[in-house]
């Protein structure tokens, strides 16, 4: 009896499934999750169809394992898409003078996830010791909230030749931050730009955070080394600023 016209022989299905699933993985790596889910589901259907015609137990088990892996990833991406939809594509936060409760962790936490691997900070004022401590605290928030965070790149301005002492403080501080991050398997790179004015924090999971004052939006504490807020930035008063948070999908 001839096969139904909508039945594709296993040898034809297998390369088709491989092609579709390769495309799914590529889209996944490009963080185009909605499109990746569609391809994963299509590839899984093809694999299931191919598995029906396989009689070799070892090969059938291999198919089953791959189907389970791709299915788990597709379900994970569906959840990520659902979580992203719960967050507004654009959020504005107005921080008033003296307000508290706006540590880096508090601001970042809703936008940190297991897909975040790399962050770029563009801030012209990471020069002084206090500003370098801000970068350190910011890095701690990323490490605590994003389990796969592995790379931090900073674009800032140089301390300047006229303030050679500050330039030396900056250089030494950045080197020490690099060494500290390396202990947590995070690579740190930086470069200088004298034309930099904007302050952007770009997360590779699609979110961008713009803080009007950059990372330096906290008020200075008094000289008491035990001042409340020196450790927990949620307890430190802020300077007035605006925070804009948006997703790349909002720009499409």
Contact, 159 vs 127, CB < 8 A?
yes
Q: Which candidate, 172, 145, 146, places its Cα nearest to that of 159?
A: 172
pLDDT score for 9:
42
**E-assigned strand segments in 132-222:** 151-156, 187-192, 200-203, 207-211
pLDDT score for 3:
40
Q: Is a pLDDT exceeding 50 seen at residue 5? A: no
Q: Is a pLDDT exceeding 70 seen at residue 2? A: no
Q: Please state, in angstroms and rounded to a whole number, the distance separating the CA atoms of residues 193 and 54.
A: 60
Q: Is a pLDDT exceeding 60 seen at residue 162? A: no
Q: Tell if the pTM clears 0.75, that is, is over it.
A: no
Say what angle helices 10-29 and 33-52 make with each other, to 10 degrees: 160
Helix (H), strand (E) counts: the chain: 6, 7
33-52 in b/e burial notation, b at 16+ Cβ within 10 A?
beebbbbbbbbbebbebbbe
Q: Determine the average pLDDT of the residues in 114-143.
A: 95
Domains annotated for the chain, with CATH where assigned, are 10-86 (1.20.58.80), 90-251 (3.30.870.30)
- Of 37-46, 48-57, 195-204, the one with minimum mean pLDDT is 48-57
């Amino acid at each position: 009896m001839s096969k139904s016209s909508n039945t594709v022989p296993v040898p034809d299905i297998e390369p088709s499934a491989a092609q579709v699933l390769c495309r799914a993985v590529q889209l996944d790596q490009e963080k185009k999750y909605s499109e990746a889910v569609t391809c994963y589901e299509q590839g899984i259907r093809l694999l299931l169809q191919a598995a029906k015609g396989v009689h070799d137990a070892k090969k059938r088990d291999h198919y089953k394992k791959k189907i389970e892996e791709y299915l788990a990833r597709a379900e994970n991406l569906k959840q990520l898409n659902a979580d992203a939809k719960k967050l507004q594509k654009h959020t504005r936060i107005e921080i008033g003078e003296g307000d508290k409760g706006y540590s880096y962790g508090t601001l970042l936490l809703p936008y940190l996830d297991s897909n975040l691997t790399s962050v770029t900070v563009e801030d012209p004022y990471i020069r002084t010791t206090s500003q370098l401590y801000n970068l350190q605290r910011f890095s701690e928030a990323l490490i605590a909230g994003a389990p796969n965070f592995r790379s931090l790149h900073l674009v800032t301005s140089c301390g300047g030749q006229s303030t050679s002492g500050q330039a030396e403080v900056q250089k030494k501080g950045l080197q020490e931050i690099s060494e500290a991050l390396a202990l947590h398997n995070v690579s740190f790179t930086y470069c200088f730009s004298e034309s930099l004015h904007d302050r952007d924090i770009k997360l590779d999971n699609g979110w961008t955070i713009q803080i009007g004052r950059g990372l330096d939006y906290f008020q200075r504490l008094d000289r008491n080394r035990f001042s409340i807020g020196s450790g927990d930035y949620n307890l430190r008063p802020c300077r007035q600023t605006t925070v804009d948070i948006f997703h790349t999908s909002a720009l499409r």
